[in-house]
Amino acid sequence: MPRSRNKPKLKIYFAAPTVTSVERREIFGNVKKILFDLGCELTYDWMEDKTEYSPKELVKKTTTGLLKADLVVAEVTFPSTGVGQQIVLAMDRKIPVIAIHAEWKSGANRFLAGSEGELLRFFRYKQDNLKKILSENFKILYKQRLVKFNFISTPEINSDLDKMSEKMGISKSQLVRLILREWIRRETN
């Protein structure tokens, strides 16, 4: 995603399983290269950090990097409980996630692919289309990122939002966003 001089770099946390083979190092290295080519800044480059951390220190280091990110790119070609936990943490903190799976490798996670929504996008990629997939989705997700603000309502409105959001199976925040988007669409037409 091209960045102008005035815009800060997009901060990305790159989540992937531990590098245990040459194949993984190559795949993950190619993803990192594309992220740098797109002008992104990694919030924590764990592949280059050779420090031996205790499990607690490692969790703190990776969590801190993740929470500083605008977006998470999760390489999910190889199954990993840790990457799954990082995806859940990001989504819990309302940080959008792009999960990518190498198309030439079998076993794409069906659960993850079925979990797509407002904060999670899942793509199978080839080496020649990954840059395009990431660039296009960075633009979309960056525009859709969530900005927190306070909303004060009456007890009646709050009760109505509770009932309607429960009926629709979404959060009150998602419901308010839907209502506002619809109102803006009607007002601008």
Q: For residues 159 and 107, is the Cβ–Cβ distance under 8 A?
A: no
Nearest-5° Cα angle at 64, 61 to 67: 150
Look at residue 140 in the predicted model and tell me its pLDDT. 78
- Average pLDDT per consecutive 10 residues, the chain (189 residues; last block may be shorter): 59 89 87 92 91 92 93 91 93 90 77 77 89 87 69 91 88 85 87
Characterize 72-81 residue by residue with b for buried, 16 or more Cβ atoms within 10 angstroms of its Cβ, and e for exposed. Answer: bbbbbbbebe
Look at residue 40 in the predicted model and tell me its pLDDT. 92
Q: Which of 113, 121, 51 is nearest to 90 (CA)?
A: 121
Look at residue 31 in the predicted model and tell me its pLDDT. 92
Say how far apart CA 142 and CA 107 lie, in whole Å.
29
Look at residue 4 in the predicted model and tell me its pLDDT. 47
Look at residue 112 in the predicted model and tell me its pLDDT. 73
Look at residue 145 in the predicted model and tell me its pLDDT. 62
